Structure 1
């Protein structure tokens, strides 16, 4: 009976989290959906494989509609024996996106209990973490996998801490389970950042172990955690192995065209400028506790009541032009090219966090402080170049990820932890009253003083200038002064807002210290202040207005008149969308396309697009430099691009048919050998792709069967020779060929060495990469049936490992429960004595 009583508070806490999650995203109760732009793109990208699954009941691991063709490993592929996925869906039982908010809250609450925080105070931490502005913003824009991965951060830390608390069995099981769920969320950048935090924790724990002479316990704990992590990884073996296989061909892999002078990072990962494009400004860090200090995100509109708008009207600008400038100029004046909204941590939470860091001691203080500093300084990116360059050049895998500001997710986790300990210790009578009062006054003075300073003197402290005014040509002093006035107004408004919250939180704590408020009253008051503070900012960017009906959502994928025109053609072809650009997924929903929307797009197709399909060049026309787009028709033809969509003179969508396409497959007269990938890429500018193909001889040198791959480079092509596509599925293509001479055929399909197999009349035949990105095949003379099948061995191997590791985990879990029961008479890992 006592066991049930112990769980009653937790039951009602979880029930409260369900209610809070549904209340914030209340339109889901009416069947509405949150419009998430990234998810709209994703739906377009995966439509082909979803349709195939629905029609056949089978899974295709190749998607032919995106980037000319790519594996589905990072496009929602469903793998055999993926039991972590099933468990995760069971945990996230609420309608999306309330499920992610619920997961934030529950996961952090568990962490607080593991850290031996009373459940009432643990609730405050869960609210501070779950409603942190950045975590809500990423849900709003559709970064679901990112939100998903972050939500399991606290659970992974819970397992690690249990092990170091010498609860080895439960720590092992929870770490293995949490890591399995973390990897299943499928956002490796977030998991990588969690790994950096784990290393920081490990370093502080090691130093602490030396001081306390507990080195054996430290290494025992590390050993237990390594095995647990490996088990968690093994339960996702298919996902990890397939991703590892594919990443080398994506933009995160080796740059095949990098110059010899390029840095190691640029040769083996993303280039420096791309990685640091979204670098958080040092000064911008202040909006972690004053949200509008640097304006709002991209959704902000200065409006017709702004000083800027009125100044434009005063200067004689037409109202429509003034309205346009008011919308595009915006209030944001930070250093990033674009932000959705400020990553506000909450002045209430930051206030309590500083209090916590001042009141706690030992290894907890140091790993929290080190993690916070690491997260903040790395988020500055190119604004702290020496540190960023060091991590890019020397820290493994750091150069695989872009948007360095994303590492602030560690701040979102660590600051609420520190805040919880601030509340816990301010109530702790074991700490002398004088010390608690002193640390409280330091926190109050720090943030109260800063907010007061910004409110009173902020207008003269900052420049309030951004690059957008220069780009729009409205940097004239009078106009900029008007923009500056608007930015000062909202900065002062939120500075005052933050100051009021500091005073309110300070008043609650002061009342508790002076015994004017009971602990329960103080906790309720602090909880309400945290909710009002965070939700008030959250609702500025993610609110009920972002929800649409399911019917409206379906209408987002309606075919345009241009799409309908192309759909009349039932042959096999690709579409090039120059109007929307390379990184847009509209065409993927309806047709096979060479573009798409993915953070792991294939590098070779990106290379072709920006250098051969839509390259920005400068021409001299009438003695003036003019920016023009250059297109290599041979590359367009070899990719079987039959339709090109672009804007006409009236800025309306228009479609043109390409009459010169090479078709799905064709025989060539000659193979042109080149020495490396760069020469292969450059040769595409000069060859006739209908008659010639470029062969990288490096491929033949890597093969032990060199002579069987390319016995000759010149071929006879009789006038009646033909090869035609007779059947196509995403993972299977069948051709018929007829030729009087032995020949070499090029297929307008992306070459991917791991998984695609070719068969001529049922007999295996080697696929030869040609033209930088396509497949080639030697065809015997006569009539033949040629079949390409995508048969990835990585899925079979990974699924076997996944199944075996899942069985091992279940057996260990049962064994752990049995051991706990035999030892204590119940299966609950925590006891009152643990407190």
Structure 2
């Protein structure tokens, strides 16, 4: 044990320091506080029903009616107990509190990657800091994008395993890749995994070209095949996750619509370009990689009393308190001036890291440089989206699955790992003496002159390079004009532009200083003025001061609140309490008091809502929202069993509730049916119809209905007798066979119908609901959510989980025996 500790002491110390760094950065959690994360709060709201039934049943339901009138829980919260990756992630999250768990994963993953590249421990330690403290990693944690954060954290160890496989240890590298790839997929953020695969594809192409040029194709084929097996195992472990999400994606807003548009009858596939490209990185905004607040930083950050806006307000006869309030509001609205609708922070990779990356492009040798350079360039250009649309369209239109993802700027996560990786590969080669001193000093001088000169120009005349005017300023101009007239508006906007310039100039000076400091350390080492260990310390100190300081702008102590404050956000209002007195377990609520009901989850905490919050709701339901619900079609609201409507009162600060007397209940009989030829006609027919009189049915389901067998019984009755999100039971009594509509969302990828325990047919009616033709008599009707993709997928996941565990154990034993073998041979000789 002592020998092991002595050998691995640097690694143990590095891990201990990582843990200390995390707890120091997030020190408020030591005071019992929790990080307020908007998306986590939203997720918690829509998970309310799922967690309530999990507490009762010991497992969460696979369907929830808490939002959008019902949807699968696969994209909200689902257990996958057969998946070994689920348990690994759960254990990790139980050991380390949020958000320490995310940043510690960033750090350990980066350290592992650099260790696989045979970095000395302390250089690997600093490199891990560079990867982990990239500003976007902290911005997404503050926003609550937790699945994205976990997925990004596994990038580095996956790449470490792949590089190990291509560098002579094919089986061990493949095993490591399989393990972390399984965790990556289980993180359940397909967009991040997809972007990682783009980077891996570039790496594979570069490795193949290099092997072909050097006539060593065998050195490529063996690890490539091993890695292919690793990918299959990682996918197999997550088979249930992938299968259910694949099925759901086809029916979601990411899938193909059943509506046709225009005279050509085109069908929408994937996301609309304008929606996917909405968050595109401005071409000029890429300067934030080097100068973090060149574009103002983020929305929601106030201007201070030192700002030009504050001083201008004082000149226009505003009192100090009033000027401070206005400067606060104007700053929150207009400090960020980029093309995006809003942002929580820039992509800042660190002035030192970017400087080293640029220097590395001219000094580093070998295929690794070309992979990192190409991957970085590709991610930057694709992140520009609509700002270089001809190029983005090539991927959006022709690259498989690329059109399924929105916020194209997110692909900069590739640059977020590639830039620091190349930067530290350069440092390794410098410290290991792999590059001639003369060449280093020559390129160092030119890079300092070039990058430093650029920053000096930016500091001196920033408006020469950037306009500092936002496309969103017009809205602010209108508000200011209404407040104080055109002259007042012009003065405040000009003051705001001066503040934007000042903010950018300060950060440019800051970056210039850090570049000079890092360049000075490299020069001192190369010219033998300082030893390597002192250079490590200096670079590490400068780097952490730089990146820590910027990250604290966006994820700071003020983001932490007392647990009691978080609980207050989920307390029912008086109107909620009044509605909750209704003992019917399955009515729905339309809450119009909290902004857009279809991007706000608050109603889902207490009710079964027709609104909610999700980036990939069912496409069919989104079409219903756009064409009928937002227009206030009471017939559609009634067929969804919307029993209560919450509206804002006359003050706009309170709320009142109205009961909808036309709500149809959980199920009802209808005397007639109207067949229509297509989905467009289905939706259009809902514009003027009475759900009591007829149902609208697509002709595709005509075979499910026996028109001649339909009759009516005015005394017939049907009622819901048992409610569970996964299992609904109804009792009915009718003297005739009747068409029956259920106020439940149609989703044929798992819902099965039964009459008296025997499978029965059902079909889609009124575009989104389930319907059946029920036989005469007294019977029990059940709907059970039994998705084959989940239950069969879990069995497959179990098999691959066992294979992964067994394979890792066997390989670990083989590696152990391999290390012990030389010692045994020595003993035999003695």
* TM-score (normalizing by structure 1): 0.93
Alpha-carbon distance between aligned partners in 1 of 2:332 and 2:131, rounded to the nearest angstrom: 32
Instruction: Note the alpha carbon deviations across 1:449-499, whole angstroms, 9 max, x for none.
Output: 122111111134322111232013148543321111111111111111111
Checking the alignment, whether the CA contact within 8 Å between 1:257 and 1:677 is kept in structure 2 is: yes
Change (3 A) 1:328 1:15: closer
Correspondences of 1:707-722 after superposition (within 5 Å): 709-712=704-707, 715-722=710-717
* Superposed displacement of residue 159, structure 1: 1.4
Instruction: Note the alpha carbon deviations across 1:521-570, whole angstroms, 9 max, x for none.
Output: 11101001110000101111111111112222212111122212221222
Correspondences of 1:5-154 after superposition (within 5 Å): 5-92=6-93, 93-154=95-156
Checking the alignment, whether the CA contact within 8 Å between 1:241 and 1:794 is kept in structure 2 is: yes
- Select 1:401's aligned residue among 401, 405, 408: 405
Change (3 A) 1:530 1:198: same
Checking the alignment, whether the CA contact within 8 Å between 2:63 and 2:726 is kept in structure 1 is: yes
**Residue in 1 that maps onto 2:722:** 727
* Superposed displacement of residue 258, structure 1: 3.7
**Residue in 2 that maps onto 1:618:** none
Checking the alignment, whether the CA contact within 8 Å between 2:735 and 2:776 is kept in structure 1 is: yes
* Superposed displacement of residue 383, structure 1: 0.2
- Select 1:659's aligned residue among 658, 661, 666: 661
Alpha-carbon distance between aligned partners in 2 of 1:550 and 1:612, rounded to the nearest angstrom: 40
Instruction: Note the alpha carbon deviations across 1:800-825, whole angstroms, 9 max, x for none.
Output: 11111111122222322333334332
Alpha-carbon distance between aligned partners in 2 of 1:29 and 1:806, rounded to the nearest angstrom: 36
Correspondences of 1:262-277 after superposition (within 5 Å): 267-277=268-278
Checking the alignment, whether the CA contact within 8 Å between 1:646 and 1:655 is kept in structure 2 is: yes
Whether 1:508 aligns to 2:524 is no
**Residue in 1 that maps onto 2:805:** 810
Alpha-carbon distance between aligned partners in 1 of 2:293 and 2:190, rounded to the nearest angstrom: 31
* Superposed displacement of residue 736, structure 1: 1.5
**Residue in 2 that maps onto 1:748:** 743
Alpha-carbon distance between aligned partners in 2 of 1:534 and 1:78, rounded to the nearest angstrom: 37
Instruction: Note the alpha carbon deviations across 1:166-185, whole angstroms, 9 max, x for none.
Output: 21210121111011010111
**Residue in 2 that maps onto 1:627:** none
Which stretches in structure 1 are left out of the alignment for 5+ residues?
615-629, 701-705, 829-835
**Residue in 1 that maps onto 2:290:** 289
* Superposed displacement of residue 204, structure 1: 0.8
Alpha-carbon distance between aligned partners in 2 of 1:563 and 1:804, rounded to the nearest angstrom: 47
Instruction: Note the alpha carbon deviations across 1:22-53, whole angstroms, 9 max, x for none.
Output: 11111222322100000000001111111101
Instruction: Note the alpha carbon deviations across 1:403-460, whole angstroms, 9 max, x for none.
Output: 0000011111111101112222232323211101012112212321122111111134
Whether 1:780 aligns to 2:799 is no
**Residue in 1 that maps onto 2:566:** 553
Alpha-carbon distance between aligned partners in 2 of 1:478 and 1:144, rounded to the nearest angstrom: 42
**For 2:723, what is the secondary structure of its paired residue?**
strand
Whether 1:600 aligns to 2:613 is no
- Worse-superposed segment, 559-568 or 386-395: 559-568
**Residue in 1 that maps onto 2:578:** 565
**Residue in 1 that maps onto 2:333:** 329
Alpha-carbon distance between aligned partners in 2 of 1:431 and 1:598, rounded to the nearest angstrom: 52
Checking the alignment, whether the CA contact within 8 Å between 1:575 and 1:592 is kept in structure 2 is: yes
- Select 1:202's aligned residue among 196, 204, 219: 204
- Select 2:629's aligned residue among 586, 591, 613: 613
Alpha-carbon distance between aligned partners in 2 of 1:326 and 1:189, rounded to the nearest angstrom: 34
Alpha-carbon distance between aligned partners in 1 of 2:753 and 2:562, rounded to the nearest angstrom: 46
Whether 1:768 aligns to 2:763 is yes
Correspondences of 1:313-352 after superposition (within 5 Å): 314-315=315-316, 319=322, 322=326, 325-352=329-356
Equivalences, count: 805
Checking the alignment, whether the CA contact within 8 Å between 1:670 and 1:714 is kept in structure 2 is: no
- Select 1:497's aligned residue among 510, 516, 520: 510
Which stretches in structure 2 are left out of the alignment for 5+ residues?
481-485, 824-830
Alpha-carbon distance between aligned partners in 1 of 2:708 and 2:473, rounded to the nearest angstrom: 58
Checking the alignment, whether the CA contact within 8 Å between 1:302 and 1:330 is kept in structure 2 is: no
**For 2:60, what is the secondary structure of its paired residue?**
coil
**Residue in 2 that maps onto 1:686:** 688
Instruction: Note the alpha carbon deviations across 1:737-767, whole angstroms, 9 max, x for none.
Output: 1222110100000011021111112221111
RMSD: 2.0
- Select 2:752's aligned residue among 753, 757, 770: 757
* Superposed displacement of residue 356, structure 1: 2.1
* TM-score (normalizing by structure 2): 0.94
Alpha-carbon distance between aligned partners in 1 of 2:271 and 2:750, rounded to the nearest angstrom: 25
Alpha-carbon distance between aligned partners in 1 of 2:641 and 2:317, rounded to the nearest angstrom: 52
* Superposed displacement of residue 302, structure 1: 2.4
- Select 1:214's aligned residue among 194, 213, 216: 216
Checking the alignment, whether the CA contact within 8 Å between 2:302 and 2:327 is kept in structure 1 is: no
* Superposed displacement of residue 3, structure 1: 4.7
Instruction: Note the alpha carbon deviations across 1:187-221, whole angstroms, 9 max, x for none.
Output: 00000000000111111111101111111221222
Alpha-carbon distance between aligned partners in 1 of 2:105 and 2:263, rounded to the nearest angstrom: 47
